[in-house]
Structure 1
Amino acid sequence: MNLISKISPQNRILNHARLIAEEVLKKEDEYTHFSDQELINKSDDIIEYLANNNPLDDRLVESLCIIREVIYRVHNKRAFKVQLIGAIIVYFGDFAEMMTGEGKTLTLVLVAYLNALYKKGVHMVTVNEYLVKVGAEFATPALNFLNMSVGQITANMNEYEKRNNYDCDITYTTNSELGFDYLRDNMVTNYNSKVQRGLWFAIVDEGDSVLIDEARTPLIISGEPQEEIGNYVKADRFVKTLYPQDFTLDPESQSVALTESGVEKAQKFFNTKNYYNFENSDIIHKVTNALRANFTFFNGREYIVKKDDEGEDVIALVDQSTGRIMEGRSYSAGLQQAIQAKEQIKIEPENLTVATITYQSLFRLYKKLAAVSGTAITEVEEFLNIYNMVVVTIPTNKPIRRIDHPDYVFDNKRTKWKYVIADVIRRHENGQPILIGTASVEDSEILHQLLERVNIPHEVLNAKNHAREAEIVARAGEYKAVTIATNMAGRGTDIKLSPESLEAGGLCVIGTERSDSRRIDNQLRGRAGRQGDIGESRFFISMEDTLFSRFATDNLAKADDKLSEDVISTKFFTRLLNNTQKKVESLNYDTRKNLIDYDHVLSNQRELIYKQRDKILVSSDNKDILYRMLDSVIDDIIYQSHNEPNEDIIDVKKLIDLATQNIFYDNYLNHDEYYGLDLDEIKTKLKNDCISFFEQKEQLMTPGIFNQILSEIMISNIDEEWTKHLDVTSKIREGVNLRAYEQKAPLNIYVEDSDKLFEKLKHDVAWKTVCSIGKINYVHQEYDKVNNEFIINDNEIIDNDNVIDFENTDHSLISEQEIEDSLVNIDELNDQNTKNENND
């Protein structure tokens, strides 16, 4: 093994970035002497250079020198070497791990400029609108200086505002709004209504939060409610009758299922002989959700109950990584309704999913993806395997002076809280600012009450009190400040220390419970000791904490003789803690990996559907798609017209009847023309008759109207069948693990079933489209063969068995004037036909 092969990819990337950064620093004096206009001219020259398909790598140092000097001129801040290194790593599409306080905001402006030079659009993605505003406001002066536009997306913008902001060279947006805009863009019925201009390059700030922590929660756009709510209440009422022996709960996977006695009770409660019978699939679905809602989801942890604007109690989801309320988000597949039933609040009918995507699938659509965060190294394998990004830890600009004390371990929570309060009192008396991280809203409120009893003033930041977040966090470094924060990680606001606070020892971070992930704990620690400040951190943990009670039960018995009422800190508990966290991280990674395996199937299908929609919306002639659909329909009609048992013989009467019933008007087809033809000739003849029939319809309309009607019918049918597909595949996925009797891997079963359903989707879209076009026209459904003409009926369109009234129908692609223009005057048409016959 040679020396080069021994060097890790991280070190190779870091060394390469360091060399480029050093070249930039060497040219600092040279660029300080350029005038503003000279810098602008140099930037414009690089843009022109790239427009001619040249690579930016050749002029990377020059580009960094330009933007570094411009940032200094507008902000009086010159990028440090470590910020240049971070920017270079992100530019090449990797993940830069930069400690809190190292200047990620400035680093991201460097990267934004580099990629904006290509003029293809750069998306700067972060976790909330506050950070969108902060990032955009810092970037705008420097990038405007170089004639580049900066936009920012907020949820309350209209379509016009969003399109203008997405059209900018650099656009700051939240991950959720980006995803929902992508889904909405693929639901439009007019291509020009889209707001995004494509997914070229994305830089994800707080990348671990977006790409890992939120990876399991798909974005969902819902349609109209689909069912009654009574069964949710009934399922919840049943679950509340169960005893511990009636169900099993796996604390690691948080899966819950009925035991044999539970099944017997279910059969009696729901009056069914076989609980697992297929006809009970809806009951099973609702009982499963009721079990999860009652035994694995808890108020104050996964969600809270709060008042909405009208004073009604509602369920609000809590982000488990940040403690923030996830506004506008709800659980899918009936879980939200199960929790509402559990909490005895108003149950909203379950909505039908019309569009959905996971963040994993969304960000893998980009041509280029990179990320930055303060903590990512513990998930290095996942970022490489799923997102093809190498995580590189960037050295800090100044040495870290924070002291990370060993954990204090206790037998129970009561003792833990006693020692936490004692430590807070001691530090508060010395004036040291303290930030206390809790794992749940419930714990933050317990701590709040304990601090009130000892008369220590403090602030509380949790999902119930998030409106003043930025203000509370910003003041957490003041002298004698005490701040309680639920899941502090990823808050994104700097904690600046006053001189008195530094004199008192800097910020002290106290963790009251270890997270499932070392990364989240590191984020909490990282709030102290920023930019070389002094600071401290310590975790107070007990054997009753969730991490141990769920994942380390087998090892707790060994700890009994090592625990007492006093604090303990031993290598045994350190090793137990680290091993438990690694175990949980591995389980969570497997869960996310499993999600990707399943989502990959749906992702491929979604991509095909969205590409087909786009092709239909932009095309001025979609008859080629119609005729391909027609081939499928004709094959079906011919198959259904075979004379059994001899499949080579076609029943012509049956074929004509089927074709007329589904496509043509009465008496349009001539039976005699089909007798004596072989199978291939019949297929060709029927297709030609269909095409001729469709062309006659088109001739009766103003040019372009037929394609507009065809496009609208196609889009409507695709959307309707895609919605059904999402609903059915989600139910299959939910129950696939119960199909062990098939002796196949659950994923393989899901893939097979999903593929069959997708083929059915295409088949149904083809049939509905061909039949609709066949039966739709501004004419009566009977065709007059004697006069060779259609009989016009101005206000009706025949659509299979349904009459659609154009005057009362919303047609986004067809204006009323266009409809009127397309209603051809039949008398003029007859006059023209008469003249033609006389001429003949």
Structure 2
Amino acid sequence: MAGLGALARKLFGSANDRRIKQMRARVAAINALEPELQALSDEELRARTDMFRKQIADGTKLDALLEPAFATVREAARRVLGQRHYDVQLIGGMVLNSGQIAEMRTGEGKTLVATLPAYLNALTGKGVHVVTVNDYLAQRDSEWMGRVYRFLGLTTGVIVHGLTDEQRHAAYAADVTYGTNNEFGFDYLRDNMKYERESMCQRGHHFAIVDEVDSILIDEARTPLIISGPLEDRSDFYNLVDAFIPHLTDEDFELDEKQRSATFTEAGNEKLEGLLREAELLKGENLYDVENVSAVHHLQQALKAHKLFQRDKDYIVRNGEVVIIDEFTGRMMPGRRYSEGLHQALEAKEKVSIQPENQTLASITFQNYFRLYEKLSGMTGTAQTEAEEFGDIYNLEVVEIPTNVSVKRIDDDDEVYRTVEEKFNAIVELIDDCKSRGQPILVGTTSIEKSELLAAHLKKAGFRQVDVSDPEAFKPLFDGDSGTKKEKVFAVLNARYHEQEASIIAQAGLPGAVTIATNMAGRGTDIQLGGNADMRIEHELADMPEGEERSAREAEIRAEVEARKQQALAAGGLYVIGTERHESRRIDNQLRGRSGRQGDPGHSKFFLSLQDDLMRIFGSDRMDGMLQKLGLKEGEAIVHPWINRALAKAQQKVEARNFDIRKNLLKFDDVMNDQRKVVFDQRIDLMDGAAVAETVTDMRHDVIEDLVARHIPEKAYPEQWDTQGLQDEVRQTLNLDLPIVDWAKEEGIADEEVIERLKKVADETMARKVGQYSPDIMRQVEKAVLLQTLDHLWREHLANLDHLRSVIGFRGYAQRDPLQEYKTEAFTLFESMLANLRQATTAQLMRVELVQQDAPSLPADGELPEMQAQHLDPTTGENEFDQAAMAPLPAGAARDPANPASWGKVGRNEACPCGSGKKYKHCHGALA
């Protein structure tokens, strides 16, 4: 069957080929319009935007305008940027416009491609979002491509960290908005915590183009976006729970020190139920009723604190604070706290002041955020290996776009060595050889630690490392002297200095340049052989005014770059070296794809050792013994296409496992996402102010019906009614003192009659309040009470779901599906939250008394609760917003070594600005 498939592809082409062939007809139509558009003046070309908008308003479909709109953008880009879209770039634009993923090789101009569908879809006036991987690229692309949009009469905006709400509002109001995935996601969450519709920044989710779509929708999507804030003080609760633990004996719990887990036994559960009942903390019949999920969670954390964590080993108590001790280094970690209430449990155990727990105020996964868009598309150099995940989760198809010029890069088979030491020696030898021939080299490593290890080997071989953050230290390479001078220099990039890195990556194609990088995805800059003339001109002639002298210097730089390009071409183009295989083939392909851009020659090779992580996972021990028996000597490598195929299969297995994990996590998050949509939609309806009075009245009536149903069983005789209980609850909930006990004595009275009387009295009471304070003021009060109560209960609900999620896995031991159990319990909790919302809102409004001042209003836009943003880097586990939260250094500002206030944001691995020569984290950063 496989043979038949191959034959069919040979005769008819693959599905991808057939799709591309269909689009070529439309490319021909766009090309046919070119002479006509070239004859237009700038004003006439710009006027086409208004013409297109009118056609859309008259009912013309977007797809019908594709050819003329794309032709217009191409002509605008040619005039403004001096760049004319290639035919394959037009095909890429069509793929994006159809809501699919365009897989385009590195150097094919994806940034320019995005202007085509962005312009066409922006004509509707609903806004287009272009999503990038970092703030630098968002700003750069919005300015660079913004020239094309502005020329055609469209507006552009950019969303980066640190903007005010007014600036965000203006940016989202633009026709095309650039920004990072984190900022778009957090703005959505923040918008749904606002109290006025006008203060919401985003205006909908019409169309998004995601650059480096695999990095954002797959790699970054492993961790959710979270906005958290401090909980109210619950010291009494933690102390009460802590007091229960000494009552337990060894039969009441089980410890697993290896897994660092502690669980209660059946006897322990019964004992705790009794203790909770005495303390009036038990809700429902038993400990594991869904209402007690939070109490159970904190009991388990208190048990862990007492039985698994030892003072002076796992933590110390210093100055009235519990300070964690790092289990690997034995050092104290001040400022770090255990999550999910564990730190508070330790504080209660040690009888020190209990700091408030951080609570999730709002959270969303990237999968669920990007599925909000009516139309979603993406572009990257490497998506085909993840096509199944894109299809399953985002309903996106991957279309491979042919290159403008055929790829000439040579991809060698991997070289496999026995040890890491032998592997690095071989890499250094190859780097030295390429350097001597003037061939540029890019070395890819899997982590910062591995890049530092390779750097140490290069230094031993006589190379000098230059400081990426200091342009002056990097001058020998930046000026292109690395090819002419014999000085051996190299640079290490690790995604901390985005702006400097873009400059260095742009010059990494200089003859003899040696660049080590941890991850080549999303750098946003091509490696051009001979260097990047535009970047050099921008860097070197920044202060030179326009004129003959500048023009002459520009021409000199371009001639120098061309000469160095010929030198690099003669040496064989860019040589890409991989120091080991990643878990994902996609990351390896990203690295390889940096060489051989636009038909340039190039070379790539991966060096592996049997001690590499991927090799160890797949049983390299047996292979090691076999190779020794076969007589493989030190420094020798095995090279064979079979090894490449075996590794590709191993990577596929890891990719499939990671995909299953992400898919399973998403199934759990989808449960919360359905509830999140209901709550956020409800908030918007309330903020719009439509029928708030009607909503409040319905809630009040539901509460009355629930109260009566609880105390008057269906078809029960009046003498069986709990009228005293009902009378007390009506007083407590509705603030009404009514003779319900006497009503029950009336002959022929039924529960329906009691309900109607209660509704009548409650409605009359509220009508008097409306008459007393005016309908407008009461509508504002109702809206304020309803929104604030909903927000408070939603946050409690999120905490309950987190706690439920942490324990639901145990249901698997009882042969019950944890996901199905989670869905059922989460629905029960949600129903309970809605019932609490009705009761709490009604109780507050029935008691409200206003002092005659200005009309009460909702919290102002800037008065959201104190909160912090969090998105964990999936590879390091660090919060990406820890550094971003610090004040950035103003553009052009200089750092005074003697004045730390002038340093702004300093990366932990950056050289300390004080001039000590140490890394910041080992110097002033250690004191921060």
Same fold flag (TM > 0.5): yes
3-state SS in 1 of match to 2:768: helix
Question: What is the rounded CA distance, in whole Å, between the counterparts of 1:49 and 1:619 in structure 2?
Answer: 35
Within a 5 Å distance, the mapping from 1:48-127 to structure 2 comes to: 48-127=54-133
Q: 1:69 to 1:595 in 2, by over 3 A?
A: same
Q: Which residue matches 1:432?
A: 439
Q: Which residue matches 2:626?
A: 561
Q: Which residue matches 2:654?
A: 584
**Correspondence for 2:749 among 677, 697, 701:** 677
Question: What is the rounded CA distance, in whole Å, between the counterparts of 2:217 and 2:412 in structure 1?
Answer: 30
Q: 1:57 to 1:335 in 2, by over 3 A?
A: farther
Amino acid at match of 2:733: N
**Correspondence for 2:608 among 506, 529, 541:** 541
**Correspondence for 1:353 among 351, 357, 360:** 360
> Quick one: percent identity of the two aligned structures?
38
Shift of 1:628: 2.4
1:171 partnered with 2:241: no
Shift of 1:574: 2.0
Q: 1:494 to 1:113 in 2, by over 3 A?
A: same
**Correspondence for 2:859 among 796, 812, 834:** 812
Question: What is the rounded CA distance, in whole Å, between the counterparts of 2:826 and 2:598 in structure 1?
Answer: 52
3-state SS in 2 of match to 1:221: strand
Question: What is the rounded CA distance, in whole Å, between the counterparts of 1:369 and 1:36 in structure 2?
Answer: 32
Shift of 1:265: 9.7
Within a 5 Å distance, the mapping from 1:271-420 to structure 2 comes to: 278=296, 280-282=299-301, 350-420=357-427
**Correspondence for 2:840 among 765, 768, 772:** 768
Shift of 1:669: 8.1
Shift of 1:742: 3.3
1:32 partnered with 2:32: no
3-state SS in 2 of match to 1:389: coil
Mapped contact 2:723–2:744 kept (Cα < 8 A): no
Question: What is the rounded CA distance, in whole Å, between the counterparts of 2:53 and 2:621 in structure 1?
Answer: 62
Question: What is the rounded CA distance, in whole Å, between the counterparts of 2:724 and 2:846 in structure 1?
Answer: 19
Worse-superposed segment, 751-760 or 417-426? 417-426
3-state SS in 1 of match to 2:114: helix
3-state SS in 2 of match to 1:458: strand
3-state SS in 2 of match to 1:603: helix
Shift of 1:642: 2.3
Mapped contact 2:262–2:300 kept (Cα < 8 A): no
Q: Which residue matches 1:483?
A: 515
- Could you say what the CA RMSD is over the residues aligned between the two structures, in angstroms? 3.8
Worse-superposed segment, 662-671 or 556-565? 662-671
Q: Which residue matches 2:486?
A: none
Mapped contact 1:664–1:775 kept (Cα < 8 A): yes
Q: Which residue matches 1:598?
A: 668
3-state SS in 1 of match to 2:859: coil
Shift of 1:673: 9.5
Question: What is the rounded CA distance, in whole Å, between the counterparts of 2:505 and 2:75 in structure 1?
Answer: 32
Q: 1:517 to 1:813 in 2, by over 3 A?
A: closer
1:530 partnered with 2:597: yes
Within a 5 Å distance, the mapping from 1:635-650 to structure 2 comes to: 635-642=705-712, 646=716, 650=721
Q: Which residue matches 2:325?
A: none
Q: Deviations over 1:364-387 (max 9, x none)?
A: 011111111111010111111211
Shift of 1:126: 0.8
Mapped contact 2:730–2:736 kept (Cα < 8 A): no
Q: Deviations over 1:79-112 (max 9, x none)?
A: 1000000000100111000111101111001111
Q: Which residue matches 1:619?
A: 689
Q: Deviations over 1:296-331 (max 9, x none)?
A: xxxxxxxx99xxxxxx9888xxxxxxxxxxxxxx99
Amino acid at match of 1:31: L
Question: What is the rounded CA distance, in whole Å, between the counterparts of 1:594 and 1:82 in structure 2?
Answer: 37
Question: What is the rounded CA distance, in whole Å, between the counterparts of 1:601 and 1:22 in structure 2?
Answer: 47
Q: Deviations over 1:198-223 (max 9, x none)?
A: 11111101101111111121000001
Worse-superposed segment, 680-689 or 68-77? 680-689
Question: What is the rounded CA distance, in whole Å, between the counterparts of 1:814 and 1:527 in structure 2?
Answer: 46
Question: What is the rounded CA distance, in whole Å, between the counterparts of 1:503 and 1:90 in structure 2?
Answer: 37
Higher relative contact order (CA 8 A, sep 6+): 2
Q: Which residue matches 2:727?
A: 656
Q: 1:10 to 1:165 in 2, by over 3 A?
A: same
Q: Deviations over 1:348-379 (max 9, x none)?
A: 97521010000100010111111111110101
Q: 1:79 to 1:188 in 2, by over 3 A?
A: same
Shift of 1:167: 0.3
Q: Which residue matches 2:699?
A: 629
Q: Deviations over 1:222-269 (max 9, x none)?
A: 01157899xx9xxxxxxxxxxxxxxxxxxxxxxxxx99574799689x
Within a 5 Å distance, the mapping from 1:496-515 to structure 2 comes to: 496-498=528-530, 499=565, 500-515=567-582
Worse-superposed segment, 642-651 or 135-144? 642-651
Q: 1:313 to 1:623 in 2, by over 3 A?
A: same
**Correspondence for 1:739 among 811, 827, 830:** 811
**Correspondence for 1:201 among 188, 203, 207:** 207
Shift of 1:506: 1.5
Question: What is the rounded CA distance, in whole Å, between the counterparts of 2:697 and 2:120 in structure 1?
Answer: 47
Mapped contact 1:435–1:482 kept (Cα < 8 A): yes
Question: What is the rounded CA distance, in whole Å, between the counterparts of 1:690 and 1:814 in structure 2?
Answer: 33
Q: 1:495 to 1:32 in 2, by over 3 A?
A: same
Mapped contact 1:219–1:358 kept (Cα < 8 A): yes
Shift of 1:431: 1.6
Q: Which residue matches 1:714?
A: 786
Shift of 1:16: 2.4
Aligned length: 722
Shift of 1:744: 1.4
TM-score (norm 2): 0.72
Mapped contact 2:576–2:595 kept (Cα < 8 A): yes
Q: 1:282 to 1:581 in 2, by over 3 A?
A: same
Worse-superposed segment, 708-717 or 177-186? 708-717
Q: 1:98 to 1:154 in 2, by over 3 A?
A: same
Q: Gapped runs of 5+ residues in structure 2? A: 239-253, 273-286, 289-295, 315-327, 346-353, 464-488, 531-564, 863-928
Shift of 1:135: 1.3
Q: 1:314 to 1:679 in 2, by over 3 A?
A: closer
Mapped contact 1:620–1:704 kept (Cα < 8 A): no
TM-score (norm 1): 0.79
Q: Which residue matches 2:225?
A: 219
Shift of 1:730: 1.6
Q: Which residue matches 1:320?
A: none
Q: 1:420 to 1:200 in 2, by over 3 A?
A: same
Question: What is the rounded CA distance, in whole Å, between the counterparts of 2:385 and 2:355 in structure 1?
Answer: 40
Amino acid at match of 2:702: S
Shift of 1:336: 11
Q: Deviations over 1:756-814 (max 9, x none)?
A: 11111111111110001011123xxxxxxxxxxxxxx769xxxxxxxxxx99x995279
Q: Deviations over 1:629-687 (max 9, x none)?
A: 22331122112322799477544443233212211244698955994431222222222
Q: 1:337 to 1:462 in 2, by over 3 A?
A: farther
Shift of 1:281: 2.5
Question: What is the rounded CA distance, in whole Å, between the counterparts of 1:348 and 1:558 in structure 2?
Answer: 54
Mapped contact 2:194–2:861 kept (Cα < 8 A): no
